[in-house]
Amino acid sequence: MPHPSAERLGRCLPRGFVIGTATAAAQIEGAADVGRRTPSTWDAFSAQPGRILDGSSTAVTADHFHRHAEDVRLMADLGADAYRLSLGWTRLQPHGTGPLDPEGVAFYDRLLDELHEAGISPFVTISHWDIPVEYEHGWLARDTAHRLGEFAALVGERFSDRVTAWITINEPATVTLNGYALGLHAPGQALLFDALPTVHHQLLGHGFAVQALRAAGVDGQIGITNVHTPVVPATDSPDDAMMAALFDVVHNRVFADPVLLGHYPHVPDELAPLFGAFAEVPVEDLAVISQPLDFYGLNYYMPTRVAAGAGSGESPDGTSDAMADLPFRLEEFDEFPTTGFGWPVAPQFFATALAEVHERYGEVLPPVYITENGASFADEVNAATGAVDDHARIDYLAAHLGAALDAVAPGGPAEGLDLRGLFVWSLLDNWEWAAGFTQRFGIVHVDFDTLKRTPKASYRWLQSALRARD
């Protein structure tokens, strides 16, 4: 049965508001041994014992490489307006050098053609975490920024005519924090504040990619995706307030301010020594990073509560020994229910995230797409009926979409922000990075043994909402 609010919510969607689904190449494509595809940093990371919770790898995942036609049909039956996908860098450019590989190009040609035939607009992410393993120092090296610009030039020229929107890079905050500061994601380094050069190099790579796409004359719009979390202090104490402000800077502002304002955020003098990596950034770099964009992609999942003082090393994505050495700790939101990942379900903070970016960036903030929003739950197929009744996800999506629309409506806390659409994470249950197959985000269930797709109740609910649009 459709969720009782599906039709009402569908009728509330503004005309032209884009509803889509999102995925990432490393999480769904599989086919790691097909063609000339070479290992990415995530292939290398998953091969290290103990790095992935269930010991799984990127080898098969959801096998989207072989099942893309079925997956596009699922999107079309859903009634989705758009699909956010990412390009497998090492499938298209083996070893991260040279021209594009014809077999890799052929795969994305087929996928883009199928999307257009189904009336679904492709939103393409150029770099969604899986960079070539040959880039030995990864994002610690400035050269990787240049390599992203070169890759963007190649894919921009090749796929320009069929891409509605280009996203240069996805969630540089997660790459820096989990991959280089805390050791939870590829490449598994735990450098804490010494990871900050990866911020600048990712943003510089974004800027080079923007230049390359514009030089290629792409038809689609160009933007970036950052993940934002509203940050609140655990208590009213000055120390908690300062540490909450510090976390806001390292998670949100060092990634958004240079792109939208052309400079890194100002911090209190007592915190300045932590940010020495930004002390002498060339003005020319900031000009490249802050080129005007056609849209800004914002991912929202949860708020963060911060207290002063070291903790146990717990983070939203796992336990990190390095995190116990930080001057702050993350506290739980006991007042909210949680997802399978243990993340707080707090749609009211979605409105806060939108209000914060609207207030901070004002007229320089371009139109916004919510490029990811979703939740993991322990979904199971009912053995008797074959159904997957994920009503917790329906409640999550209904509440969050409603909160976003209310936030930008007249009288809302983000009134005036130009919100253009929302992409549900994710279309399919997928390989969830360091969590392997232990977390399910999809509105379509995937049996990871047989690879059978089963639309969940949330898929049917969203389908009803989209059919009810004016």
Predicted confidence pLDDT, tens digits, the chain (470 residues) = 455 589 999 999 999 999 999 999 999 999 999 999 999 999 999 999 999 999 999 999 999 999 999 999 999 999 999 999 999 999 999 999 999 999 999 999 999 999 999 999 999 999 999 999 999 899 999 999 999 999 999 999 999 999 999 999 999 999 999 999 999 999 999 999 999 999 999 999 999 999 999 999 999 999 999 999 999 999 999 999 999 999 999 999 999 999 999 999 999 999 999 999 999 999 999 999 999 999 999 999 999 999 999 988 889 999 999 999 999 999 999 999 999 999 999 999 999 999 999 999 999 999 999 999 999 999 999 999 999 999 999 999 999 999 999 999 999 999 999 999 999 999 999 999 999 999 999 999 999 999 999 999 999 999 999 999 97
Helices (H), 29-175: 41-46, 64-78, 89-92, 102-117, 143-159, 172-174
Query: Whats the size of the chain, residue-wise?
Result: 470
**Residue whose C-alpha is closest to residue 106's, from 165, 37, 205:** 37
Q: Could you give the number of structural domains in the chain?
A: 1
CA distance 413 to 411: 7
> pTM for the whole thing?
0.98
Judge whether 1 lies within some domain.
no
Q: What is the DSSP letter of 409?
A: S
Given a contact cutoff of 8 angstroms between Cβ atoms, the answer to whether 333 and 348 are in contact is: no
DSSP one-letter string for 419-469: EEEEEEE-SB----GGGTTS----SEEE-TTT--EEE-HHHHHHHHHHHT-
For residue 96, give its domain range. Answer: 6-467
- Other Cβ atoms less than 10 A from the Cβ of 454: the count is 16
Q: Which residues contact 363 (CB under 8 A, 6 or more apart)?
A: none
**CA 117/CA 203 separation, integer angstroms:** 34
Largest CA distance in the chain: 64
Query: Domain holding 251: CATH number?
Result: 3.20.20.80
Q: Which long-range contacts (CB under 8 A, 24 or more apart) does 382-389 make?
A: 386/454, 387/454, 387/457, 388/445, 388/454, 388/455, 388/456, 388/457, 389/456, 389/457
Residue 79 lies in a domain: yes
Q: Which residues are catalytic?
A: 372
pLDDT of residue 119: 98
Name every residue whose Cβ is closer than 8 Å to that of residue 114 and which is 6 or more positions away in sequence: 68, 69, 72
Q: What is the pLDDT of residue 220?
A: 97
Q: What would the two tokens of residue 128 be? A: 């969604």
Q: Is residue 82 assigned to a domain?
A: yes
Structure tokens, 413: 């806390």
**Residue 207: partners with Cβ closer than 8 Å, 6 or more residues away:** 145, 285, 288, 289, 290, 291
Q: Rounded CA gap, 277 and 243, in Å?
A: 19
In this structure, is residue 295 part of a structural domain?
Answer: yes
Distance CA 120, CA 432 (A): 25
Secondary-structure percent of the chain, ordered helix, strand, coil, rounded to 5: 45, 15, 40
Q: Which of 171, 130, 158 has its CA nearest to residue 40? A: 130
